[in-house]
Structure 1
Amino acid sequence: MPNRDGHRRFGNVRKLPSGRYQARYPGPDGRLRPAPETFARKSEAERYLVLVESQIARREWTDPERSKIKLGEYAARWIEQRANLRPRTIHLYGWLLGKHIAPYLGGVELGRLDTPLIREWRAELLGNGVSESMAAKAYRLLRAVLMTAVREDEILPKNPCRITGADQEKAAERPVLTLAQVFALADAVPVRYRALVLLTTFGCLRWGEVVAVQRQDIDTKAGTVRVRQAFTEQRGVGLVLGPPKSRAGRRTVSLPPAVISAIVDHLATEVDDNPEAFVFTTENGRPIWRGNFNKLANWKAAVAKVGQPNLHFHDLRHTGNTLAAQTGASTRDLMARMGHDSPQAALIYQHATAEADRAIAAALDAAVRGEEKAERKKAKRDARQADKRSDGKKAKKKARKTDGTRPGAPDDGAAGALVRRG
């Protein structure tokens, strides 16, 4: 805005030889910066300066030069510099970036990303046959990258990833085994993997966690298993032993005596005495690759035998989580057992349990209402029968009054006989 002597108090506008107008302004660091584009009218350049001044005052201004970095370059650096990412997560993020993000948005400057462009990108993914689940994973990665650009690097004023529901995966409901089916499945796989099925289910362990359990992690007297490491499979590298998925993944889980008994038998027959010996291995004593387990355990035939032909190994943990939630455990206790930092997963299982509990209550209510209805019908039937009996008595009494008799009185013939005898 110009002051009384005609000069602007913030920035300046000058006319270029081309006839267009250039706006320049001092950033928070005092350095003079030009607007990213020129203007056809002086009033447009002045309005731009008013907007920039307002953004700086509200601390919403970002350096346009920094926002010129391409998304692909920024995202790759984000993955590389992100602390505490597990190798498998780094691989997944790199794959998502290269497969589903960079080919569409990698060459776009951060400052030019907006919600309509993000929406168009997601629609193109789905239109090209990418599943909603995979599109959601790519969207969540993009949102996390851009959130860093907003909050930490202050390159963007706000995150353009604002599409409702785009981050949600609509996975099919996974099967949950009954207790009888769990033990039937354990008996259906080769005996070498019986304890593996039981420990995974009742310990609520992930695949990478259960195959990384060592003899020293099992306390048969206390009835516990300690989770302190996990295997991840990295393409081109192999099996990598590292920490669990999250900080909460380091935990000690109590097990039912029936499971401990199976583990004791397994330790005695299948595992070396070395404390660092892995509890579950192939017959050659090597760690088990996830891709080889189905063949080793004859999984397809085993799950078909228990009536769950579509059961995945991960569904054992899902079953264990469900069974744990059904005990009425608190959210915090479920989080500790499942190895989650966030209560979200525990709340999902508790919600499912609550729904089942409400279904039980509804069934009980229906039974109560049915019983009440039956009682009302019986009461009405008894009342009708009582009314009929009462009506019968009234009819008989009326008939006796009509023929001159009364209960307990002799009839006329009998009275005449008494008079004559008298």
Structure 2
Amino acid sequence: MPVLDLNHAVLRRIDRYRPETRAVSLFDRTLKGFMLELRSTGTGTWYYRYRDQGRRIRLLRLGRLGELSVTKARQAARRFDALVEAGENPRESLSPAQRSVTFREFVETRYFPHVELHNRSWPSTRSQVTRHLMPRFGDRRLDAIRRADILAMQHETRLAGMAVGTCNRLLIHMRTIFNAAIRWELLPEDCNPTKGVKALPGAVSRERFLDAVEVRRLFDALDRSRSPQLARVVRMLLYTGARKREILDARWEQVDFEHRLLTVPRSKSGKVRYIALSDAALEILRATPRQPGVPWVFPNPRTKKPIVSIHYGWDRVRREVGMPDLRIHDLRHSFASFLVNAGHSLYEVQALLGHQSPKMTMRYAHLAPATLLTAANSLAGELSKKPY
């Protein structure tokens, strides 16, 4: 929480304060509550921070860095500070238009930084919100979005051919965004336009499992691929059952060759997770070249940073082998199906996948009818023995 003199001189060298990730709050040394929230993208927002009569911290948005000068931002902060000193609520002095931000401003300055901090799947969230929701709602004020707009979104996206599951995910994103705005008191309690809007029926829970022949075809295509990194990543996903980002974000310091473990510092559950490394997985890691000064196991060859997406290379390979519907996450499902069909218990599968609840693992119970039948027959055999 840097404290400095927010003035023109500081703004001329503002890049030195720019964070590598997330955002940093720069507080003014002389005017209490006057601050600049600076993001890794170089964008920023002026705020006035104060405590209300209930001693809760409140933020008033003054304007964007670059659109509002530091002089005018400071003048606005002084006016609000005077109201607080007089025992008044500065928010009540704002017009309705001033109290509400646009959908784009709220999502980019408040919601995305929050999701990045608390949700490991935030790149997917950012992609879906940016691609599908920003074009539709970006320039609308939060308090001007109505239930009719949400229903229209459902109708039009489905009519355009979007899958039911995707349409429902967009509804979930909108509901979560507005709940956050209400929780942070930017909107009143009853201003969530998704309230009462039901998910579209007909969403199919689809799970795809590879068989041994398909795995061989996939591996042959990967060996012909122009990207050796893609081949390593896909094999690691199938050999470990790990989630995509758990492999793409892996660092060498997290690989324990002696105990055959890959440590995930913060898994999807928010806890540390340990991924067992089989002989095949260890063979890939030992054959993967290490690059001096690069901590990532599978870095982007060009940027030397974690790979953001493998979609295009993956899409080319899956189409080449005639499996255009095969998703990266299906490799995790296939890992589980091979284990269950080899006779391993659902408890073992749960531990290897890192599921917090056995309910998540039970979806694989139907994959081993022969194994379950053998177990049932063994019990029947024991019960039918004659007592001595």
| TM-score grouping bracket, smaller chain normalisation | 0.5 to 0.7
More helix by share: 1
Distance 1:244 1:90, change over 3 A: farther
Aligned residue in 2 for 1:177: 210
Q: How far off its partner does 1:360 sit? A: 7.5
Residue pairs, 1:206-225, within 5 angstroms: 206-225=243-262
Q: Does 1:164 align with 2:198?
A: yes
1:247 to 270, 274, 284: 270
Instruction: Please give the residue correspondences for 1:11-30 in structure 2 after superposition, counting only pairs within 5 Å.
Output: none
Q: Which residue of 1 aligns with 2:105?
A: 76
Q: Counterpart of 2:345?
A: 328
After superposition, the Cα gap between the structure-2 partners of 1:280 and 1:151, relative to the gap in structure 1 and judged at 3 Å, is closer
Q: Which residue of 2 aligns with 1:372?
A: none
Distance 2:211 2:172 in 1: 34
* Mapped contact 1:75–1:145 kept (Cα < 8 A): no
For structure 1, which segment, 204-213 or 133-142, has the greater mean C-alpha deviation from structure 2 after superposition?
A: 204-213
Matched, 1:109 2:132: no
**Which amino acid in the other structure matches residue 272 of structure 1?**
R
> How far apart are residue 275 of structure 1 and its match?
7.9
Letter in 2 for 1:212: D
- Matching of residue 134 in structure 1 with residue 166 in structure 2: yes
Larger relative contact order, structure 1 or 2 (CA cutoff 8 Å, min sep 6): 1
Count of paired positions: 269
CA contact (8 A) 1:79 1:90 kept: no
Q: In 1, distance between residues paired with 2:162 and 2:365?
A: 34
CA–CA separation in structure 2 for the residues paired with 1:176 and 1:225: 24
Q: What CA deviation, in whole Å up to 9, does each residue of 1:242-269 have, x standing for no partner?
A: x876734x532112234323433x14xx
Give, in whole Å, the separation in 1 of the partners of 2:153 and 2:328.
34
The answer as to whether partners of 2:218 and 2:317 remain within 8 angstroms in 1 is: no
Q: 1:109/1:172 Cα in 2 relative to 1: closer, same or farther (>3 Å)?
A: same
Q: Tell me whether 1:96 sits opposite 2:132 in the alignment.
A: yes
Indicate how the Cα distance of structure 1 residues 68 and 349 shifts in structure 2: closer, same or farther if over 3 A, else same.
farther
C-alpha change, 1:286 and 1:76, in structure 2 (3 Å) is closer
1:256 pairs with 2:289: no
**Residue 332 of structure 2 is aligned with which of 294, 299, 317?**
317
Structure 2 distance, partners of 1:98, 1:184, is 40
Per-residue CA distance 1:189-242 (angstroms, 9 max, x = gap): 2284554333211322333432333433332221122334xxxxxxxxxxxxxx
What is the RMSD of the two structures over their aligned residues, measured on CA atoms? 4.7
Q: Contact 2:244/2:329 (CA < 8 Å) preserved in 1? A: yes
In 1: Cα distance, 2:96 partner to 2:169 partner:
25
Aligned counterparts of 1:361 and 1:209: Cα–Cα separation in 2 = 32
On the 8 A contact 2:143/2:191 being kept in 1, the answer is: no
Give how far 1:69 is off.
7.5
Return the offset for 1:139: 1.0
How far the C-alpha of 1:155 sits from its partner, in A, is: 0.3
Whole-angstrom CA distance in 1 between matches of 2:130 and 2:181: 18
Corresponding position of 1:293: 313
Q: Which amino acid aligns with 1:219?
A: D
**How high is the TM-score relative to the length of structure 2?**
0.52
Assess if the C-alpha contact under 8 Å between 1:325 and 1:349 holds in 2.
no
In structure 1, how many angstroms separate the alpha carbons of the residues matched to 2:163 and 2:218? 31
Q: Is the 8 A contact 1:70 1:109 kept in 2?
A: no
Q: What secondary structure sits across from 2:115 in the alignment? A: coil
Structure 1 length normalisation: TM-score?
0.49
Letter paired with 1:135: C
For residue 253 of structure 1, give the secondary structure of its aligned residue in structure 2. Answer: strand
- Once residues 138 and 362 of structure 1 are traced to their aligned partners in structure 2, the CA distance between those partners, rounded to angstroms, is 42
Following superposition, the deviation at residue 319 of structure 1 comes to: 1.9
* Displacement after TM superposition at 1:363 (Å): 11
Identity %: 15
Give 1:186's aligned amino acid: F
1:353 shift after superposition: 1.7
1:146 maps to what in 2?
Answer: 178
Alignment partners' CA distance in 2, 1:314 and 1:189: 17
Secondary structure of 1:99's counterpart equals: helix
Say whether the 8 Å CA contact 1:69–1:109 is kept in structure 2: no
Q: Which ranges in structure 2 are unaligned for 5 or more consecutive residues?
A: 1-53, 55-91, 117-121, 377-388
The amino acid that maps onto 1:118 is I
How far does residue 98 in structure 1 lie from its aligned partner after superposition?
A: 1.5
Question: Is 2:252–2:296's contact at 8 Å kept on the other side of the alignment?
Answer: yes
Contact 1:200 1:317 in 2 (8 A): yes
Aligned to 1:85: 115
Contact 2:146 2:193 in 1 (8 A): yes
Post-superposition Cα deviations, 1:146-203, rounded to whole Å, max 9, x if no partner, equal 223444426033744223324x893572421235644664355228455433321132
Match of 2:239 among 195, 202, 210: 202
TM-superposed deviation, 1:316? 1.6
Are the aligned partners of 1:182 and 1:198 in contact in 2 as well (CA < 8 Å)? no
Q: Is the 8 A contact 2:243 2:329 kept in 1?
A: yes
Tell me, in whole angstroms, the C-alpha distance in 2 between the residues paired with 1:283 and 1:77: 35
SS across alignment from 1:252: strand
Contact 2:103 2:142 in 1 (8 A): no
Q: Distance in 2 between matches of 1:320 and 1:184?
A: 16
Alignment of 1:178-193 (within 5 A): 178=211, 181-182=214-215, 185-186=218-219, 188-190=221-223, 192=228
Structure 1 residue runs of 5 or longer lacking an equivalent are 1-28, 30-62, 229-242, 366-422
Determine which of 112, 118, 142 is the counterpart of 2:150: 118
Task: Return closer, same or farther for 1:294/1:359 CA change in 2, 3 Å cut-off.
Answer: same
